[in-house]
A and B are shown apart, each in its own frame.
Chain A
Amino acid sequence: MRLAAGRYRLVLVLLSLGLLASVLLAVGVGAVGIPPTSAVRLIAWKLGLAERPDDVSRATEIILFELRLPRVALAAVVGLALAVSGTLFQGLFRNPLADPAIIGVSSGAALGAIMVIVLGGGAVMGGLGVSMAAFVGGMLTAFFVYRLARVGPAVNVATLLLAGIAVAAVISAAMSLLMSFAGEEIRNIYFWLLGGLSARGWTALGIVAPLILLGVSGAVVLVRDLNLVSLGEERAAQLGVDIDRFKWQAVALGALLTGAAVSVSGVIGFVGLMTPHVLRLVVGADHRRLLPAVLLAGPMFLVLADLVSRVALAPQELPLGAVTALIGGPFFLVLLRRERRIAGATA
């Protein structure tokens, strides 16, 4: 399927408006409501574009800038990272069922985090220590899996997939063992396994956002090769793709994005699997068109999911990973049934 250029632009405009609306909704809804007008004027003031609005209280200002906005921004970049990572892995594995966790990065990251929590490092170094351990764990796992699948300069993607699954299984077992010794830290561990964005503040965003933007920029450069690789590695090579380099780059960027996201949010499923898949049904398989749509839809989806996790049973927070699956799953199934024809052809 190929949309006319005009209709494709319309899709991008709608996604942009949807993202903007999601952000304003998410910063506005909570125990203290902030109307969109107030939020926009406060942000304009912070950016030096306008006078401080005098009808907005100091408390509202603090809630917006210290609580809501960093959280919404973090949800946006994590959604961005997971969706782009999913797009990369689906393209690399030529399989619409691939997701960011596929080569074991999420498991490795969770293991790193849990180790620090159980050993008490979480208390010593604060939240950032756990995040760093998670990121390192994820990257080490990706590197290890990649080395397992590499023979000379060539990496067999089927081996990569199987090695990822095997390594993730071993890591899960290790996590179970660690959790049996966790004692009171078990709640913190559940945070990692179910995912969440509460109380991270601007610091976490400041650290992961550059990593994620770096990963996304790299992915943008790979769009053309992603198209060619979906014809098969050998055909892509015949058409001029340096296939070994491509695979190395796709794995590195996907791992970087997933590792960075998981390090601040824990394990959040479904965003990376669903976003590219659903958008492919809307804008077609051409990655040049798919990726821009993913860049808008990934953040939008996670901002909305985080909003639900925050307000659905307020003041109780729901685990974000559970919310993404609860919202995403049925939506995904409805879409699959409606678009059975194309889904069948691509599965």
Chain B
Amino acid sequence: MPPPDPALTLRGVTARYGPAPPVVRDVSLSVDPGEVVGLVGPNGSGKTTLVRVVSRALPPASGAVRVVGRDPYAMSGRETARLLAVVPQDVLPAFSFTALEVVLMGRTPYRSALGGGSPDDWARTRAAMAAASVQHLADRPFEELSGGERQRVVLAQALAQEAPVLVLDEPTSHLDIRHVVDLLAIVRGLAAGQGTAVLAILHDLNVASVACDRIVVLHRGETVAEGEPGAVITDDLLRAVYGVEADVVTDHATGRPAIRLGRPRTLRAPLGRRAHVVGGAGRGAPLLRRLAEMGYEVSVGVLHASDTDEAVAERLNLVRVSVPAFSTIDRESAAECRRLMEAADLLVVCDAPFGPGNLENLRLAVAAARGGVPTVLLEQVPIAERDFTDGAAAELWGALRGLSTVVADYEDVAVEAG
């Protein structure tokens, strides 16, 4: 079967307001029936202008727009409204209409100037309201609704148009997370069930990543990236387009990229003090962040690859000594870790489980503590419950207790460190 003709096409579209320089330059994109395409980009990148070009409000200075193969600027407004439904950012009526009246206006392209709503129009209006979960708002004055409720009523209005192409301009900006999820489900359902072609301007890249089949990135009026979410949403893109340092990780459950903000840059003026943390199994993670925030130059080790502590240390950009998962600590790593411990102004040993793979950490810690490095021992869980070495770990832990300050929670470690 040949691929379906695109439901929405832009070819080399350049658009400007009056004599000003173009806001959108040479943009080409297409949306197939049943496809959800996300249009993302920083504020002022030309996304809404592109929606105006598509929706017959701003004729392109050059290039072409086709909605289901037809030029909207060669059609009447009424014909266009049957093929293309738009959900704008916000609608504020000048007079007091009920939500039902607002949604019913979505049937305009099918009604005569004088006729009232036919039973069919009313049925479709009700169905659109049900789809957008706003039936219960039918008799409420539109202007008294919350921003999120208004947005869903306007979505229902657009759904009532029953157009094969749906363009959404930041449809989730006022929605709480539950309604964001619902809206995405509605949009995906339309694409899958009716074959609706959807073009959605989305600000939240994580939403775009989950909701869209393809993503088009607009920057300063030009397309700078296009493709599947995994190919488009990358660290490099965030840096180049948004000027943001963030981590992009793949959510293995969905296969989609997810952005994690908050990679720390310089957190606090450095104290000029070093701290070394012996962690493992995620027991060190809260401390790593805390000490780094306090201005310590933090090192950690020896850790096993894929340990939570290892991942956190990587995100925090800390000095770390790691060995492959399930291996024992080799001589070279041990020596490196010893140097870090000896250079530290503070050594923190966490109550991690100890087995043959990481027993060496305790030996190193005992040696450093004996050598005079101030040591804090975190002991929330008794050693008996996390000794997998038939007593060797318990013995070393006992020796450490005699050489260090023993505390019961992370807060107290911070007190000792301060």
Contact = CB atoms under 8 A, between A and B. Distances in A.
Nearest to A280: B95
A338 B113 CA distance: 34
Interface string B123-150: 0000000000000000101011000000
Taking residues whose C-beta sits less than 8 angstroms from the other chain, chain A's interface range is: 20 to 34
Contact of B81 (A224, A240, A346): A240
Given A94-B94, A237-B77, A231 B108 contact: no
Given A239-B161, A240-B80, A234 B88 contact: yes
A285 B81 contact: no
A224 B114 contact: yes
A18 to B, nearest CB: 24
B94 A346 contact: yes
A197 interface: no
A231 B116 contact: no
A269 interface: no
Contacts of A220: 114
Interface string B18-59: 000000000000000000000000000000000010011100
A345 B140 CA distance: 13
A285 B96 contact: yes
A230 B94 contact: yes
Contact of B96 (A224, A238, A284): A284
B97 A239 contact: no
Interface string A13-28: 0000000000000000
B108 A232 contact: no
Contacts of A288: 116
Interface in A198-242: 220-225, 227-228, 230-232, 234-235, 237-242
A227 B101 CA distance: 9
B111 interface: yes
A217 B261 CA distance: 61
Interface residues of B, number: 38
Given A95-B94, A232-B91, A345-B144, A239 B76 contact: no
Nearest to A244: B77
A1 interface: yes
Contacts of B308: none
Contacts of B91: 231-232, 235
A227 B139 contact: no
- Scoring B57, B76, B85, B141 by chain A CB atoms within 10 A of each residue's CB, the highest score goes to B141
A220 B86 CA distance: 28
A243 interface: yes
B400 interface: no
Contacts, number: 101
Contacts of A96: 94-95
A235 B139 CA distance: 21
A242 B105 contact: no
Contacts of B232: none
B93 interface: yes
Nearest to A94: B94
Contacts of A239: 81, 105-106, 108-109, 157, 161
A2 B113 contact: no
Nearest to A227: B105
Given A2-B139, A228-B105, A242 B95 contact: no
Contacts of A95: 94
A342 interface: yes
B105 A2 contact: no
Contacts of B173: none
A241 B77 contact: yes
Nearest to A233: B57
B295 to A, nearest CB: 53
B79 to A, nearest CB: 8
Given A2-B101, A225-B113, A346 B96 contact: yes
Contacts of B86: 238
A225 B108 CA distance: 9
A258 to B, nearest CB: 21
A258 B91 CA distance: 31
B93 A2 contact: no
B88 A235 contact: yes
A146 B100 CA distance: 35
A238 B94 contact: no
B98 interface: yes
A2 B144 contact: no
B201 interface: no
A241 B108 contact: yes
B102 interface: yes
Contacts of A232: 91-93
Contacts of B96: 1, 280, 284-285, 342, 345-346
Contacts of A225: 113
Interface string A95-111: 11000000000000000
Contact of A242 (B55, B76, B94, B98): B76
B263 interface: no
Given A231-B105, A239-B157, 4 more contacts: A231-B93, A234-B57, A242-B78, A286-B101
18 contacts: A1-B98, A94-B94, A221-B113, A224-B114, A231-B91, A232-B92, A238-B57, A238-B85, A238-B88, A239-B108, A240-B76, A241-B77, A241-B108, A242-B76, A242-B78, A284-B101, A346-B94, A346-B95
